[in-house]
Structure 1
């Protein structure tokens, strides 16, 4: 069996509302999604969702190879980029190809990837993450009520620009999840996407912690600042979560050695081999791992096979245009299906139509770091919706039935208690 070629596609995730973080917002809710398809001489193709920057140079490392040799081919791709480096989208391209190879390997075996990797339980605990910084109070509550109807009882909000606004929004979502959980304490996290200095981070989080119990604070300072992350970790009660924007296994040991990370994250675009290696490193230091991203399917399969998976991010409840995943969200978890491989199906006609949509402007959005990030003297929430209290009504018996259709409260296995 040999790799014979590749194709690339582009589609969009249609959120139907603004999405973003402290760095910026996609006001139209249209987020580009890139796809890589690896083809073989047996007619079996694998799908990877992620960038395809410099793919011709990277693909040369695996062209003509047996796709089942996934982990060694991953290292070949790294070696093909070592001079210029594998930072940013280049690392994402390696991850996209790696994910496609795992898809092929599992299809050849006739098994879903989660079973091929040694997973026993197809359920992967999840938390809600709405990329919600631009939402009004009403929109915020409605969004997390939607997550709650799927059994989610933990949520990560975007913030970092205004302490009182963050407090108010966390309290609103906490009320929603508490009501949906019939009084059980929810899990709350805050993601500021590297928006603060060390002192700003400690001051902001400590003020929130006067009235709130946060499970983690995510990327409080720059991703590579091991000393700074450790300083923040010593100054707050919440755990420090980071790692989604690291582009290589070698970037994790300095953070772990400095005590700079409590929740080890990897992004979906990093690929499956990267996740498995980082998870093993974290496990050696008794640290949990948590995958990040929208199109997470590859890492969800891999998460079933590692002993230290904590929870995985659930962003949009619908898939990108033209993509179908063999999974469901119920009882607060992703539930993987039995389709061989990743269980990803592509409708290329719909994807082609989506590809004709104008992309978001490159000069603005959450992918562009603001000029004054980390140098704000006072709160800068200009342009974001004002906050106002919206009482959350107690659920009626009928609404409780909607929250838990089978009348049961679904709980993850004992080893995965979260929150």
Structure 2
């Protein structure tokens, strides 16, 4: 079996709510879902979700190759962009091709990907995440209560701009998630919006009222010394890494004792997650997937590593035209039995270009505000 070509599709996911974080928000959000289909000479096709970045530059590294050599092909793609570097957007293209190649490998073996990778239990624990900074209190409670009805006992609040608001909203999340536990897991995600001492002050105040499971991305992603100091200063675990591309970028954080929970963005693909999980396990660190909905294939890899902690679940449905053989319930993700990653396409249902800029909206969460980390007051007033 040889890889002969690829094609791309883009559908769009209507979130049916506002989404955002400390960097911005999108009302009535509709965002792009890039899909990559890798073709072979046998007619078998592999599907990857994530990014279309640099595909033309990356594809020669895998063209004509046997997709069953998935791990080696990942290294060939890294080598293909050796001079310019694989970080950032290029890594998204690598990940989409990588996920499609793993899908092909599992389909060729006529096995679900989780089993091919060595998984025994197809249930993957998860937590609820509303991307919720723009939700009012009523909608915030409704979102997490809906997840509690599905057995979820932990949730992550987007915050960091207003201490009083974070205290109030964490209480709302805790109340909504209390259907099955007296001690729901509570996390707060600042999305790199703080300086070190801002983080210590803010978290210390929150910890007077809440037993936080973790604080996520409190500081800039590369700040190993700052994260290490913060971890020593607060009770909550420090979780970070979703925006790091490549295991090499985690080296300084792990060596400095700067990360308590290693996070892997689902959008960076299957091989990245597997390698990072084993690197973390060498240091007795758990790993957690961020953004399961951005690439559901990575949940299969979570079932096959010894140190997976929990996976972020942001939505209960998929983009039009995308069918995923997974069920959300019992507080996590039940992986399906279909061969491959369990992703199929109904191309006639794919939504074309919607109104609005989606993730590219300059007021949205993918653009860092000019005063991020430079606010004197964290009271929701200063902008």
Short-chain TM bin: over 0.9
Post-superposition CA distance 1:57-86 (Å, at most 9, x none)? 101110111111101100010011121111
Matching residue within 217, 240, 243 for 2:241: 243
Equivalences for 1:70-89 in 2 at 5 Å?
Answer: 70-89=70-89
C-alpha separation in 1, matches of 2:239 and 2:13: 25
Matching residue within 265, 270, 281 for 1:283: 281
Residue 346 of structure 1 corresponds to which residue in structure 2?
A: 345
1:348 CA displacement: 1.1
Equivalences for 1:354-373 in 2 at 5 Å?
Answer: 354-355=352-353, 357-360=355-358, 361-373=360-372
C-alpha separation in 2, matches of 1:88 and 1:11: 22
1:223 CA displacement: 0.4
The question of 1:314 aligning with 2:313 is answered: yes
Equivalences for 1:218-233 in 2 at 5 Å?
Answer: 218-233=216-231
TM-score (norm 1): 0.89
1:356 CA displacement: 5.1
Equivalences for 1:390-401 in 2 at 5 Å?
Answer: none
Residue 297 of structure 2 corresponds to which residue in structure 1?
A: 298
Residue pair 1:32, 1:359 contacting (<8 A) in 2 also:
no
Residue 62 of structure 2 corresponds to which residue in structure 1?
A: 62
1:357 CA displacement: 4.6
1:108 CA displacement: 0.4
Residue 263 of structure 1 corresponds to which residue in structure 2?
A: 261
Residue 19 of structure 1 corresponds to which residue in structure 2?
A: 19
C-alpha separation in 2, matches of 1:197 and 1:82: 33
Post-superposition CA distance 1:190-233 (Å, at most 9, x none)? 00100000010111000000111000000000000100111111
1:347 CA displacement: 1.4
Residue 396 of structure 1 corresponds to which residue in structure 2?
A: none
Aligned pair count reads 381
Equivalences for 1:392-411 in 2 at 5 Å?
Answer: none
Residue 129 of structure 1 corresponds to which residue in structure 2?
A: 129
C-alpha separation in 2, matches of 1:112 and 1:88: 30
C-alpha separation in 2, matches of 1:104 and 1:382: 52
C-alpha separation in 2, matches of 1:110 and 1:359: 40
TM-score (norm 2): 0.97
1:33 CA displacement: 1.3
Residue 34 of structure 1 corresponds to which residue in structure 2?
A: 34
Residue 141 of structure 1 corresponds to which residue in structure 2?
A: 141
Residue 392 of structure 1 corresponds to which residue in structure 2?
A: none
1:296 CA displacement: 3.8
C-alpha separation in 2, matches of 1:190 and 1:49: 27
Residue 270 of structure 2 corresponds to which residue in structure 1?
A: 272
1:333 CA displacement: 1.4
Residue pair 2:6, 2:38 contacting (<8 A) in 1 also:
yes
Residue 214 of structure 2 corresponds to which residue in structure 1?
A: 216
CA RMSD, 1 decimal: 1.4
Secondary structure in 2 matching 1:311: strand
1:27 CA displacement: 1.4
**Which region of structure 1 is more displaced relative to structure 2, 305-314 or 22-31?**
22-31
Secondary structure in 1 matching 2:76: helix
Residue 333 of structure 1 corresponds to which residue in structure 2?
A: 332
Residue pair 2:48, 2:295 contacting (<8 A) in 1 also:
no
Residue 9 of structure 1 corresponds to which residue in structure 2?
A: 9
Residue 94 of structure 2 corresponds to which residue in structure 1?
A: 94
Secondary structure in 2 matching 1:354: coil
Q: Residues 21 and 356 of structure 1: is their aligned pair in 2 closer, same or farther, counting only changes over 3 Å? A: closer
C-alpha separation in 2, matches of 1:290 and 1:372: 29
C-alpha separation in 2, matches of 1:256 and 1:372: 29
1:35 CA displacement: 0.9
